[in-house]
Chain A
């Protein structure tokens, strides 16, 4: 009996760790974009690397959690939902990592007057990720998932508004089309983080309804 509870505790801490990683990726993503826009390229690279490491760590954790849930036939009713949520959360981490890798490889040329909008867009993406993480923690304790789901959706819409504004401003500039398209693609990439967070939160709200005893 103590064995069951010890295993439960271990798994619980692994899930917590996974969520910590996700939250940290959101924060690092924001800081990295700020660094890039403000020309601190070394710091940017260092943060990008950290995001890569966190992504690997989160992947390992997720695989181990999945193995334990199936091997020990734990939470049989919610197992599918929990794994679905964790896997979709991984997409959020991936979106951040891919965006940073692209910035690092393609060095987009962002004019200073757009910095504030890019930072605002990234910030909303990060907020969506933070609310999502809290929502998932609440899901494991059947408490107030809806509040967090609502906030994720709010920040995703805010991000969409900023992204649209940015794109309009970019394409209104007197620049080469290639350059405008390049900048526009970064707007889309950064916005993906909030979009992915919203996808997970939708899944989360359905799982929360299913979880009620």
Chain B
């Protein structure tokens, strides 16, 4: 059954290959500097490598936006995004799987009454502006530098051609790697929680964890998309918008590759952190936006003449339409899946203001008589609870978020056998011991389990969110997510 659900992700991967990945080598192919076949092969290989080796960076941000928590939901979210991208690909418009998946997740949130994390949404949407802008700046700077170098040190036309060709392949491969690393989360991110956490040993030579295996499959789907259907978008990128020369094509690919790398490199993030520099959020960005930004950057430096504004307008219109189309498709699709096929598209996430929750929130300094009135009541989903809080209490925005965080109900039982199945490389010894000390204990909120674990060992504790603790908190949250997914039980099982 899981394979059936995965099929929509593979379809999405294929769409990503046919559209986003096409951008990486688009200018190279359109200027006839690299053959389509060569470009497709290089792109395919490096997208897969990027996805498998450094794909994990951006998964977290997407997970925060909306935790699509049932396979049926994941299936529909991926399918809606894929259909939206396919539509745009057919129109030859370079769009972004990132935008489509964000739209689809929002559709899921609305349908299931879940909460949309505004901070994550703002973080993601702001990259839709920052990413093309950054690419435009990089491209403009690179273009001016290239022009200066070529004027100062005249190179033979044929040598310049050979160098540009080599540069295009190297930069394109780097871009494809960065794209794989940055965008695989879009394709497979929603399926990560559904897969087991144990590593797989391949012929005793090396081990891959299940997430890497999942990303490998997704990477292959992307590669097939590139090979089979990406030519048209490549032509729009490389020719439709603005006439590029081989050297400017190279500048575009370099600018794009660097921007994708900036938004997906975990090593860069930790380097910036250790040197006290501001970090760049690890967010799935759009190669389409980067490429279009870079092309426009060059066009502006060249005086702005020759830009086909009608094509640019269509492209930007496509960017606005993609998330909207994906959101609507996801909403309608989820409705059908749930009501016609009777599939479970979301795990219920009820909210309950129990005694324990009220105690806990008052410990956070949130004491409200009006909240007491809701004591013992249950709410079907985030939307219902929020409405009750807004209408029935005098709490303001921040307090409402706090109440919602603690009132979210769940059930966990620390089953010893499941501890044994945990990948030893995932948890520290201290963290595993903490889990063992809680064997057969039950919890009805994530925070209860989290705080109990933190009581056992500081290795499970979340520290104040500042620069120094960023990496620690990120790692702890990642592991906690695994712990929640592993020990969660359906309410019926709870009694044993």
User: Residues on A close to B: CB < 8 A?
Assistant: 1, 4-5, 8, 11-12, 15, 73-78, 82, 139-143, 211, 213
Contacts and interface: CB of A to CB of B under 8 A. Distances in A.
Interface in B1-42: 31-33, 35
B147 A74 contact: no
Nearest to A81: B157
B162 A82 contact: no
A197 to B, nearest CB: 21
A1 B248 CA distance: 21
Nearest to B169: A1
B35 to A, nearest CB: 7
B162 A76 contact: no
Given A1-B166, A76-B31, A142-B150, A12 B159 contact: yes
A141 B158 contact: no
Interface in B133-168: 143, 146-147, 150-151, 154-159, 161-162, 165-166
A71 to B, nearest CB: 13
Nearest to B249: A77
B25 to A, nearest CB: 15
Contacts of B147: 213
Interface of B: 31-33, 35, 143, 146-147, 150-151, 154-159, 161-162, 165-166, 245-248
Nearest to B33: A76
A188 to B, nearest CB: 36
Given A8-B159, A140-B158, A213-B143, 4 more contacts: A8-B156, A77-B245, A78-B157, A82-B157
Nearest to A141: B154
A78 B159 CA distance: 13
Contacts of B161: 8, 74-75
A1 to B, nearest CB: 6
A92 B359 CA distance: 97
A167 B266 CA distance: 81
Contacts of B35: 73
B158 A142 contact: no
Contacts of B159: 5, 8, 12
A27 B151 CA distance: 32
Nearest to B35: A73
Interface of B: prevailing SS: helix
What 10 pairs across the A-B complex have the smallest Cβ distances? A76-B32, A141-B154, A213-B247, A143-B154, A8-B162, A140-B157, A75-B161, A8-B158, A4-B162, A12-B158
B42 to A, nearest CB: 13
B211 to A, nearest CB: 35
B246 A12 contact: no
A16 to B, nearest CB: 10
Contact of B151 (A8, A74, A82, A142): A142
A114 to B, nearest CB: 44
5 contacts: A1-B166, A8-B158, A76-B246, A77-B246, A142-B150
Contacts of A140: 156-158
Contacts of A139: 157
B158 A73 contact: no
A142 B33 contact: no
Nearest to A4: B162
Given A76-B31, A77-B31, A213-B150, A5 B162 contact: yes
Contacts of A1: 166
Interface centre among A8, A12, A211 (most CB of B within 10 A): A8
A54 B249 CA distance: 39
B157 A211 contact: yes
B157 A73 contact: no
A140 B150 CA distance: 12
A140 B157 CA distance: 5
Given A4-B166, A5-B162, A75 B150 contact: no
B31 A141 contact: no
Nearest to B161: A75
A141 B32 contact: no
B32 A73 contact: yes
B162 A141 contact: no
Nearest to A74: B161
Contacts of B245: 77, 213
A78 B32 CA distance: 11
A213 B33 contact: no
Interface centre among B35, B147, B156 (most CB of A within 10 A): B156
Contacts of B33: 76
Contacts of B32: 73, 76-77
B155 A213 contact: no
